[in-house]
A and B are shown apart, each in its own frame.
Chain A
Amino acid sequence: MVKEIERAGIPVVQMCNLIPVATTVGSNKIVPTISIPYPLGDPDTSKEQQWKLRYHRVGVALDALTEDVKEQTVFKVKI
């Protein structure tokens, strides 16, 4: 699906946990998430911690849409 969106000329960022799968399939911009069942908020942490993590990583993904990359890139996250 990512490829069809990008094939249409629309920049796309994939947020996922299994980075090697995303790179093999052909995603060009990737932002890591923390797990499969809860990509953007560990239920064992506080609501506030979950929000901070989610807000940060979605922000990284938004910024990644503006990056002029020349090859497949996995963007770095801080939390």
Chain B
Amino acid sequence: MKKAIHYINQFFAGIGGEEKADYKPEIREGLVGPAIALNSILEAEVTHTIICGDNFMGSNTDEAVNTILGFLEDKEFDIFVAGPAFQAGRYGVACGTICKAVKERFNVPAITSMNVENPGVEMFKKGIYIFEGGKSAAKMREDVKTMANFANKILKGEKTGPADEEGFFPRGIRAEMWLKSGKTAAERGVEMLVKKLNDQPFETELPIPKQDRVPIAPPIKDLSKANIAMVTTGGIVPVDNPDRIQSASATRWGRYDISKIDRLESGVYKTIHAGFDPAAADADPNIIMPIDAMKAYLKEGKIGKLHDYFYSTVGTGTTQAEAARMGKEMVGKLREDNVDGVIMTST
């Protein structure tokens, strides 16, 4: 029987939530958490489960990857599966990171699954199979099944179809295939051209992925005269969260007056972000929203002015569309006060 190894994070291993996100890589014989579901559908034996904390993978990537590759050195396996990671950003990036590393080192197919909004998709879809998954763990069964079905095809040596047929994100690889229509490239090209000339819709066979890049804004010439504003996605708010910003998948933001204070005191401000252990930030909110350091630079005259408000929302699970809208709304306020530059802290 063929063999598989499954990578999951500390949460799905049942070790703990954010307070355990620094958990170091571990390999266990047998099945843990989602590996049980995978093993029941996969036509291979899942021999080991690898577990790693999302923060450990994010902050100590080289160490985490090398440790895990070390675990795998003496193991036999035909396929590597990670996740599913849903819309969990750090987990998605971790799954992508380890799949890419395992594929490159051991040359076995690596499969994972995540939601289209997960930043791991853009980062890793070129190198590995990333299946389009659900937003949350409610889709666990379906997402595991999708990965397992595809893995079974590979394990049996069956021919796999193109990305849109199989359900993974396009890797940008072109493969030769016979079309059912039997039409040659010349015929298809002419057909497309005729449609284009008639203003009819047509589908290109070579889509160029759109990349939304923003031109770099002109730099500030004289910092000592500049008005600087602070923004965070780390969920720092007054303790009563007056704008009722959501702890995840935020659609609201707030701005809070800092003109008369020198730093953000614990007990007056806290974080409502549900994507990490809040203990450190609640004890000292300045470690996410460094108002104390900005006030020091203001007093020294390094900057001319600190904009009277800091802006805050929560970045976890927040869709790009909502983030863009909130960003635009903030810009409106920043412009009213002729802000010259922004520092944004992210968690």
Contact = CB atoms under 8 A, between A and B. Distances in A.
Contact of B283 (A5, A33, A43): A43
Q: Which 9 A-B pairs have the closest CB atoms?
A: A4-B327, A1-B327, A41-B287, A16-B346, A38-B280, A58-B293, A37-B276, A65-B341, A11-B217
Given A1-B327, A24-B119, A36-B347, A66 B220 contact: yes
Contacts of B89: 18, 21
B110 to A, nearest CB: 18
Given A41-B286, A59-B302, A6 B217 contact: yes
Interface in A1-48: 1-18, 20-22, 24-26, 28-29, 33-41, 43
Contacts of B323: 1
A10 B217 contact: yes
A4 B123 CA distance: 21
Contacts of B330: 1, 4-5
Interface string B95-134: 0000000000000000000000001001100000000000
16 contacts: A1-B233, A5-B327, A6-B217, A7-B214, A8-B335, A11-B342, A13-B343, A14-B346, A24-B123, A34-B59, A35-B55, A38-B281, A54-B286, A59-B302, A63-B223, A65-B226
B218 A9 contact: yes
A74 B228 CA distance: 20
A78 interface: no
Contacts of A35: 55, 59
A40 B343 contact: no
Given A6-B216, A10-B342, A59-B293, 9 more contacts: A1-B330, A3-B214, A8-B331, A11-B341, A13-B341, A14-B345, A34-B59, A37-B277, A38-B281
A58 B331 contact: no
B219 A65 contact: yes
Contacts of A12: 217, 341-344
B238 to A, nearest CB: 20
B19 to A, nearest CB: 9
Interface of B: 18, 21, 55, 58-59, 89-90, 93, 119, 122-123, 211-221, 223, 226, 228, 231, 233-234, 275-281, 283-284, 286-288, 290, 292-294, 296-297, 302-303, 313, 323-324, 326-328, 330-331, 334-335, 339-347
Contacts of A13: 341-344
A62 B343 contact: yes
B217 A18 contact: no
Interface residues of A, number: 52
Residue of B93, B216, B294, B302 with most chain A CB atoms under a 10 A cut-off: B216
Residue of B123, B214, B278 with most chain A CB atoms under a 10 A cut-off: B214
Contacts of A63: 223
Given A17-B59, A26-B212, A39 B345 contact: yes
A9 B40 CA distance: 54
A17 B347 contact: yes
A9 B215 CA distance: 9
Residue of A5, A8, A55 with most chain B CB atoms under a 10 A cut-off: A5
B221 A66 contact: yes
A1 B341 contact: no
